[in-house]
Structure 1
């Protein structure tokens, strides 16, 4: 299979608000008031958490089907702490991103314990967002003047 390309295209509409499109979907990003925003949408790091949870959901279901496992219930809650001091330019002591993430997964299946553990292992290995979070991904910045 050839590579799939995903993209988001948009513009800054205020100091904290970004409006973009991904395929036919509108995506709005904003910050809560404590970070200077209008609280009109989820913020960038909340989108990371949502993307991770959504990806885990898809991969759990794909792998479960491959392993002939029925998922009766799957709840995915992810949280993490960020020290905003670097982001706000107050300090350089800690990283700007999440210190760590906690993925709380409530999984109920018809599988044996061993088969369920295999499911979890394969999901961790195959989830693209998990891979991006655990491994460095090169980012190329291409600046243009408009």
Structure 2
């Protein structure tokens, strides 16, 4: 299968608001101390994880011919803000831990739901990027 390229270009002006036009959608990332027009980058990151898990769950349910009436995914993450503020810390700059709780509305036992979620997470690209090192290159234009 051919490699798929996913691209996003953002713009940021004088304030804290970051925008991106993605297909027909205007996405906004902002800070509560800015104009508060959108979620902050960390909240958006967690939303991306939860959204990917939800989407893959629907795909897996369809493939397994399961009736998935709905899924609620709660993602909670702990971090020490010292690193992003430029202060010394032994903690990572990012999250120290991410917890996922999925409330799966389907006719499955608890063990079946756990196995289903394990399979979903194994197929979720965002989840995989968190577990496996992804090379990230950066440069200035």
Same fold per superposition (TM over 0.5): yes
SS at match of 2:2: coil
Q: How do 1:6-85 and structure 2 match up within 5 A?
A: 6-33=6-33, 37-85=34-82
Q: 1:91 to 1:32 in 2, by over 3 A?
A: farther
Name which of 89, 93, 97 aligns with 1:96: 93
Do the aligned residues in 2 keep the contact of 1:72 with 1:110 (CA within 8 Å)?
no
Residues 25-55 of structure 1: CA deviation (Å, up to 9, x unaligned): 211111222xxx3322111111111111110
Compute the TM-score of the two structures, normalised by the length of structure 1. 0.86
Q: Distance in 2 between matches of 1:93 and 1:112?
A: 41
Unaligned runs of 5+ in 1: none
Unaligned runs of 5+ in 2: none
